[in-house]
Structure formats: structure tokens, C-alpha cells
Amino acid sequence: MKFSQTFIPTLREVPGDAVIVSHRLMLRAALLRRLANGLFAYLPLGLRSFRKVEQIIREEMDAAGALEFKPPVVVPGEIWKESGRWETMGEGMLRFKNRLNADFVISPTAEEAFTAILRDEISSYRQLPLTGYQINTKYRDEIRPRYGVMRGREFTMKDAYSYHANEESLEKTYQDMGRAYRRIFKRCGLTVIPVRADTGAMGGTGSEEFMVESEIGDNTLILCKTCDYAANVEKAACKDDFERRSIDEAKAAAENIPSIKKIDTPSVKTIDELCRFLKTGAKQFIKTLIYRAENVELDLTGAPGASTLERKSPAPDAPKMYPEAFFAVLIRGDLDVNEVKLAAAVKASEVSLASDEDVIRLTGAPVGFAGPVGLTSLPIIADYSVTSINDGVTGALEKDTHYEHAAFGRDFEPFMLTDVRTVKAGDTCIHCGAALYEKKGNELGHIFKLGYKYTASMNFTYLDEEGKSHKPAMGCYGIGVDRTLASIIEEHHDDDGIVWPMTTAPFHVVVIAIKYDGAVKAAADKLVSELETLGVEVLLDDRDERPGVKFKDADLIGIPLRVVVGEKNLPKVEVKRRIEKENRLVEISAAADELSRIVKEELAALNS
């Protein structure tokens, strides 16, 4: 390929709206251009690398036994109503009506589409397991797209979906996919951190994310310094720094504690203010926060304050849910509530702190004075840390008033006990007891064991050996192709530009002709022909530009190997690796074989 015959409009200046390295370099190196906020067009050079990432993913999916499908990007809203996610996916899902007033969706993910396709085709256990995948366009109407293709509105994903007759089969495919993901990222030259993760709106049980470290990462990773424990903060757990008690154990521990007593706390609302006012530590306080939850699937029958809630199904055969419910959440005063854990515990699509008006309406007290003692208008969700408090301080449901000597089990009991604690750096590893630390990361891939969430709600059944009807278990496995490409640049660059791994570089070699004429032209053309015969991808810079411009562009674009053909050195050429500072002279007669050897060795190392 000749530079003059392709389209590589490199930029010298850094675009003002590009904040992170990958965004800046993808624009400057002419990989892509912005069409609108969150919408990008790949240019020819960028598309070459994009297709290489895509092909690596395809090869590993095929090797893992997955079958490629090509569903439409526009899918009917009816299947989303069947699954129950028409209501729960929120405003990020782009919905529209066609000329017949039917609901449609620009696909943000494809659990519903694959399940709808396969439920009409699979009727017997003999057809299972089956794993299908696509590499296709997705759209999520991000409220604030940023960082180029790291968080765009339109993007390309590989998503795979597996269907199984039993949990053992699902577990095998889940593990196979985990190994395939590790190979994909290794082949792309990426250093990933596999972490335990929350399944979120996808539903299901087991989940693992594949992260890359990033200063602008959307995720906080909790890692152990000693063992291999790694988790997204949304899922992270730590060793208890308290004595976890049952109700009966807590009642016994409170036998010698004085009875609960009201105390005046004028204009004192926050934990810090209470600590100063009562001259005690935050661990003695029971913090009570009122949360609003949307689309709650947890059965609240018999829960305090829930008798008037109506449980509805958004579509026939879809799970029943409460469109809105409120909860009082208790946690030790020095800890913070993890809202993702809370949402998972109550099976809600989203949770958020209740408004001041709702707090007053539900507790009868101003904000800052809520507490569990005597609270009958709300279900109480208590973190395990509260079970150890048998002589604590908490709000008394009255203005300027708190309780002292409050004891879990004796003075109040929760509707649910669960872990809703946010783990932080310095907490203790649940496995080995070492200190945990934090890193910022970006998610590149995510694998889920979804279980029966979609096959149950969408009535996907098969017959077993005895002719009995069952619903298959399901898994889901996704990788962001654009984000993977950007992450390669984030990890592989220097002050001069991109430093591509050989597997994803748009070309393996750039041949720079100092002046593309006469003997130089003949030598450059011959070398390019020899390299292409050996299977090496070559970009020939034949432009009528100064050598410095060509060298700058070569470094910016980041092609792994550079060959300079100039009249001064012929019959030798200068060969230089992008990762090295110095070049060396090689006989042109031997150059093609040597360059081919280097290319093949680097490809083999990454692909091994």
C-alpha cells in the first residue's frame, strides 16, 4: 500500500476536546474522526487495526466452540417487554416507533434477541449446549459520552450467549470463555486484571470482569497485596472487623446494656457532628439512610410499610416487580453503603437516596434523625456491621433527638441482613488477611452466568430425555472492540505516538523512500514486493515530503518496523524498531528476510 494512494490525514496539533492519550493519538494518527458527540467514524488506517482486534476475537470464539450469528441492530420492543427490561434499562436504551406505531430498540445488548431466535429452534436436550456470538454495532444513549471510543454512544461489541441443560455445562462454558478472554487480551498485547464483579441489570450469579489499569477508569478495583484477590468495588468483600452476630446472639450480648434512652442533640445531624457532641467514635453509631428503589423484584410480602405496594408484571410471563419501593438501610457509622450491593440485595434496577420530602414523609422526622427503633413504615435492610453494636447511638425519629444504648436484636430487628458495605483501601483481604489497595480501571470484557433470568421470562423451553419440559441455563460473554483498541494505545505509546503490538498494527513495516525516484524508487519497490511475497504487510511512504515529516508520521502512526531507503546508504537500508531509539544498516538484499523473521517472531510470541 502506498501512502499517496490511501487516506492518512495526520494532525500535528492535539485536538482540544481530546483528554486521554488514546483519544488524542487516534485523532492525530488519523485512525478516526468525530462525527457527533459520542459518534466516531473509523478512517482506513484505524479500520485496519480495528479489524485485526475483531479477527483475534473471532478466532478465539471459534476455537472455544462458539458459532457466529448476525442479528439485526434494530430489534422489536416486544422481546424487551417479555424479559422485563423494557422498563428497567432506563434512558440509556434508545427506543423508537416505526410507521405502524410498533416499538423498536436500537440494540444496547442482545440477550433478548438471541433468546428469541433460539427458543423457536431448540426443542430437545440433544441440541444443547449451544453458544452463539455476534460482533455487531450497539447503541447506548450515554448521558455524557467522553474519552473518544472509550465511552461513545455507538460502539462495536462481541457478545456471546450460551444455553445449557444443566449448571455443570454452564460452568464449563463459563470457564472456557474465561480462558478465551485471557488469550484474546494477551494476543492484543494487553495487561488485564480479571476481577469479581456485580452482574447489575444483566442479572444472574457468577460474574468476572477483565480490566485494564487506567487513570480515567470508570471502575475502582480492590486488590490484595499478597494473594490474587481482585474485585470491582461494586462486588468487593473484606474480612469483618467486628463480631458478626445472629439475632439471638445479639440479644444475649445486650443483656447487661442499659435500656435505650433518648438524648437531646440540638442541631446535630451528621456522624461527625455526633462524634464531637458525644465525644465518642463513629463505630458506636448506627447510620440510617433512606433509599428509593426502582423495579424491585424482591418479594416484600409482610415487610413493614409494604402492604400498600402493588406488584406488577411489565409484560405477560415477565417477572413481577414493584415499580417503586423505599427502604431504611442501616450501617455502622464509619462505613459507607455500596449502592450496587444494595440494588442486588433488593433485586432493583436502580437505587438512590430518597429526597428530603420522602424522608420526612416516611420517617416523620427531618433529615439526619432517622433511626430503626420504632420505624414501622419501611422495610429495614441492615449491614452485618450493625449486628455487633449493642450499645450504640442512632436517630430517634424526632428533631434534635437521638437514642443512646441502642442494641441490635433487642431494640430493633431488620427485614433483611446482608452485606452492603463499600470496601476501601486498607480493609482486610477476605482470603489471606493482608491489606487491600485500590486502582482505577476500565472494563474491556465481562462474562456472566445468567442462570434462568431470560429463558424463564421469555418462555424458552426444551424437553429432556424423559420428555419433561425445562428451561435452559444461560451465560453471557461480552467484549468491547473499540474500547479494546483504545486500551492497546493507552498501554502502548510514548511521547512520539503509538507503539503498536505486531498483532494489531495497521501495517507491520513502513518503508520510507527519502526521495521516491530513480534508484531509490526501484529499491523501495523491490523491497516492498519481496516483503509482501513473504506475507508482511507494508506501507510505502512515497510522498514528496521532507524526511523529517515522514519520520514524524511513522512514529505517530506507530508501525512496529521502519525501513529508510536513501541514495546515500544504498545498497544498504536503515532498519529501526519503533520501540528502539537507534537504527542500523542492513544489506537490502537481506532486508526482506530479516524483517519477515522479526515480524513472524513477534506475532508468534503474542499468539502463543
Q: How far is CA 117 from CA 111, 138, 269, 455, 473, in A?
A: 10, 18, 55, 12, 16
CB 58 within 8 A of CB 73: no
Question: Binning pLDDT at 50, 70 and 90, where does residue 164 land?
Answer: very high
Give the model's pLDDT for residue 146.
87
**DSSP strand pairing (286-296 vs 322-332):** antiparallel
Q: How far is CA 199 from CA 168, 343, 348, 383, 476, in A?
A: 20, 11, 12, 20, 10
Residues 6+ apart with CB under 8 A from 431: 224, 227, 229
Q: Is 40's pLDDT higher than 50? A: yes
Question: Binning pLDDT at 50, 70 and 90, where does residue 204 land?
Answer: very low
**Domain 499-607 belongs in CATH node 3.90.440.10:** no
The pLDDT > 90 percentage for the chain reads 83
Question: Binning pLDDT at 50, 70 and 90, where does residue 203 land?
Answer: very low
Question: Binning pLDDT at 50, 70 and 90, where does residue 320 land?
Answer: confident
pTM: 0.84
Q: How far is CA 258 from CA 115, 243, 261, in A?
A: 59, 20, 8
Average confidence score pLDDT of the chain: 93
CATH number of 14-237+438-489: 3.30.930.10
Length of the chain measured in residues: 608
Strand partners, 510: 539, 562
Question: Binning pLDDT at 50, 70 and 90, where does residue 198 land?
Answer: low
pLDDT digits (tens, 9 = 90+) for 468-504: 999 999 999 999 999 999 999 999 999 999 999 999 9
The distance of Cα 599 from the centroid of its chain, to the nearest Å, equals 33
13-27, 80-94, 510-524, range with greatest mean pLDDT:
510-524
CATH architecture, range 247-418: Alpha-Beta Complex (3.90)
C-alpha cell at 244: 458478626
Give the model's pLDDT for residue 115.
97
Show me where the domains of the chain are located: 14-237+438-489, 247-418, 499-607
Q: Is 201's pLDDT higher than 50? A: no
Q: Is 90's pLDDT higher than 90? A: no
Give the model's pLDDT for residue 316.
59
Give the model's pLDDT for residue 414.
96
Q: Is 207's pLDDT higher than 90? A: no
